[in-house]
Amino acid sequence: MNWLQKYREDYSATIKIGVPIVLGQLGIVVVGLVDNIMVGHFSTSDLAAASFVNSVFNIPILFGMGFSYGLTPLVGQFFGRGDKFRVGGLLRNSLLANFMIGLFLSVVMGIMYLKIVSPKVCKFQFIYFCNRT
Q: What is the pLDDT of residue 45?
A: 77
Who contacts 105 (Cβ-Cβ below 8 Å, separation ≥6)? 59, 60, 63
For the cut 60, the answer to whether the pLDDT of residue 133 exceeds it is: no
What pLDDT is stored for residue 1 in this prediction?
59
What residues does each domain of the chain span?
31-132
Taking only the tens place, the pLDDT of each residue in 34-92 is 888 888 888 887 788 778 777 777 777 777 777 777 777 888 888 888 888 888 888 88
R_g (Cα) of the chain, nearest Å: 20
Report the pLDDT value the prediction gives residue 125, as an integer from 0 to 100. Answer: 62
